[in-house]
Amino acid sequence: MLLISRNAFEMYNGNDKTTKTQVVKDFGDFKTNRNEILQKADFIFSGKMVVILAMASFVILFIALTIKTLLNILVFGFLFYTIAKQQKTNWKFKEVFSVGLFTVTLPLILTQTVPVVYSSWSFMLLFVVWMYLVVLKKEKV
């Protein structure tokens, strides 16, 4: 239970039957008025600030998507490298990773053109098929 008064906050814990009190004077003074709030809101929602926040959001989103894509390539590259080693092919991990970097190009383009619902599935399916065709499929010449 919580009791808020003008001078203090009191919290009662029913499990161990203790009461904790925090005096409001310890927090210091805080005053604000309508004009200060409106000035801060005008600053936050000004054109320059909205542009800065939008750009920062796009940069953070780009970095996060880049890291996600590289981690997908790393995981699937390790998977295909392990399968290739079991089949006794002469692939090194850096070669498989390099192929993964190339095979991710078309799925990334497709994720920008197809609806969002299908983009992750198309990305994974196309990436896995291309990695299989390049790394594991043996052609008879």
10 strand-pairing partners: 3, 21
Q: Which of the residues in the chain have pLDDT under 50?
A: none
Q: Report the candidate in 105, 109, 108, 100 with the shortest Cα–Cα distance to residue 133.
A: 100
Other Cβ atoms closer than 10 A to 46: 11
Q: What pLDDT score was predicted for residue 22?
A: 80
Q: What pLDDT score was predicted for residue 74?
A: 93
pTM, to two decimals: 0.58
Q: What percent of the chain shows pLDDT beyond 70?
A: 85
4 strand-pairing partners: 9
What burial letters (b/e) apply to 77-91, b meaning 16+ CB within 10 Å?
beebbebbeeeeeeb
